[in-house]
Structure 1
Amino acid sequence: MTLDLRIFTEPQQGATYDDQLAVAQTTEQLGFSAFFRSDHYLAMGGDGLPGPTDAWTTLAGLARDTSTVRLGTLVSSATFRHPGVLAIQVAQVDQMSGGRVELGLGTGWYQAEHSAYGIPFPDKRFGLLEEQLAIITGLWETPVGEKFSFAGEHYQLTDSPALPKPTQPKIPVLVGGGGPRRTPALAARYGAEYNQAFPEIDTIGARVKVIEKALSDVGRGPESMVQSVALVAAVGQDEAEFTRRAAAIGREPGELREHGIAGTVGEVVDRLKALEADGIQRVYLQILDLADLDHLDLIAREVRPQLG
């Protein structure tokens, strides 16, 4: 299996729908497998102009403005939406896209964006995530004509018709998080994919083993889950181009090389092959300069052919 490369964006830093559309369509044209975006409402540094865009509203538009590329969130926050509403939204976008949607879901962590937009941010959020995964997958999996009910600590659903249904028989659910026990167990129960978001490079292989153990504990084989990682990307044809791209996103070249998919083409190919040797099957390339479409072209043209 060739290492799967996906494009991952952070539109809360300042991107219109049209900015994201240009990246998504380029992602599709260049043959990357997916366009993913964060689900945030507040910039992390900078003014974030012209302001945030809602993840699932954006993906609904992209569902109609693209035709083959897969679409998803890395990751939606359990604090942002009621699980019943989110299940409807995601199923509808899946229908709109012809079955190309994936749902990444996490606990949420950025307290400032909750304060800025009046969204409750409880201290303990893992229970929210656990119940949301049970509800969303339960609604989708309930046969047409039957009802779905759920009685939890945080959510109660009574006799839901569990509609609409997604186009895909099973929307892939992506679970991430760094907890030692509960997160791996949750991923093993509900996840089609486990994602490590911006880990230290030398910890990645060990975490893969932790997830494989959690899968084994519930009777799943390692082949039943995709192991993925999200890392910042900055690639140059040569050192000067790499340095320019690092400067454009306000990062130091040495720091990027240590923590990301960064450097010249040869260095990046070596890093990706090392991740594959650690058990990673899919890499989300965090693209921070959405205006630099030549960056995506370079990765597609010079990096990807050297993998697998």
Structure 2
Amino acid sequence: MSEHFKLRIFTEPQQGATYDDLLRVAKHAEATGYDAFFRSDHYLKMGAVSGEPGPTDAWVTLAGLARETSRVRLGTLMTAGTFRLPGPLAISVAQVDQMSGGRIEFGLGTGWYEEEHAAYGIPFPPLKERFDRYAEQLEIITGLWGTPAGKHFNYDGRYYRIEESPGLPKPVQQPRPPLLIGGQGKKRTPELAARFADEFNLPFVGLDAAAEQFERVAAACAAIGRPQEEIVRSAALVLCVGKNDAEVSRRADAIGREAEELRLNGLAGTPDEVVAKIGAWRERTGITRLYLQVLDLADLDHLDLVAAEVAPALTSAPDLPGGFPRFRWKSEL
């Protein structure tokens, strides 16, 4: 079934942002018609930026935003599985879903940034163990949320054991908040997505690599008899849009990038260029959601430009073979 193409704002506050900075962007995203406000889950800056005044916690932030926004959906790309035990995490996410009136979307990943674990005393197991724990975390969190009222959930895994849990509290959204899985792993990632994901997200990859990974997820779905159309396809790209080349260059400079490099590897250029690139992604991969990585949180005019001159040019049209809605140009309407 088709859905309208959705643009979502995605922030990286570990690079230097306060809760008030995030609140301002989230409220602006809501006011200008974006579908969702997402944030990363990191405790340490990356690259040459100072990261000051320091990190904010993803789920503390989302709890605050849940009470200070009313429409925009809220979530993580991705919550790090290494940061939290699965039982308490299920409680936190369910509670924030209640606080938001059912607007939470839950992205969960293995955790990958070793330096932030060292900086804050968080264990960082080898990759295979992180994936093994991740698989158990998915089983436990979905199992707790899916346990009927009055029943108890039990789980006996290699890394986690759950005994007679009432599986409370329950999220508002039933059977659960949408669960996002993502990444480029060629085997276990598609297999876990086929079993658990409501949405599969590919961050910061090229179009060819994205198309190949979405096909791996489709194959993993076919292997277990799940219709691939049940999983929403999405991507994340760094945003750098300007009314003209000079404005594109100015915005690229502000985030320490080159405009031409961003035109190749991100979502950069004039509104017409950006609409064309989204069209190419849409036609090739079947994505229906795009997460716009906004790195200069002070530049709210950037969000206004995309809302005014990119979003209106995007719509959905009759389905492509395989059940995915086709991208249609504004000129075809």
Residue number among 279, 283, 291 corresponding to 1:284 in the alignment: 291
Query: Where do residues 171-186 of structure 1 align in structure 2 (5 Å cutoff)?
Result: 171-186=177-192
1:266 paired to 2:276:
no
State the TM-score, normalized to the length of structure 1. Answer: 0.98
Q: Write the distance in 1 (CA, Å) between the matches of 2:231 and 2:23.
A: 29
Matched, 1:28 2:34: no
Q: Does 1:130 align with 2:140?
A: no
2: CA distance, partners of 1:153 / 1:200: 36
Q: CA deviation at 1:79?
A: 0.2
CA distance in 2, matches of 1:3, 1:272: 10
Are 1:156 and 2:158 counterparts? no
Q: Which ranges of structure 1 fall in alignment gaps of 5 or more residues? A: none
The correspondence of residues 1-308 of structure 1 with structure 2, limited to 5 A, is 1-45=3-47, 46-123=49-126, 124-169=129-174, 170-278=176-284, 279-308=286-315
The percentage of counterpart residues that share the same residue type is 60
Cα distance between partner residues in 1 of 2:45 and 2:214: 31
Deviation at 1:177, TM superposition (A): 1.7
User: What is the CA-CA distance between 1:297 and the residue it aligns to?
Assistant: 0.6
CA deviation after TM superposition for structure 1 residue 2, in Å: 2.8
Greater alpha carbon shift after TM alignment, 27-36 vs 55-64: 27-36
Partners in 2 of 1:63 and 1:12 — Cα distance?
20
Give the Cα–Cα distance (whole angstroms) in 2 for the partners of residues 304 and 201 of structure 1: 21
Read off the aligned partner of 2:55 and give its amino acid letter.
Answer: P
TM-score normalised by length of structure 2: 0.91
Alpha carbon RMSD of aligned pairs, Å?
0.8
Q: Helix, strand or coil: the match of 1:125?
A: helix
Moved more, 218-227 or 8-17: 218-227
In the alignment of these two chains, the number of paired residues is: 308
SS of alignment partner, residue 234 of structure 1: strand
Deviation at 1:217, TM superposition (A): 1.6
Q: Distance in 1 between matches of 2:139 and 2:161?
A: 12
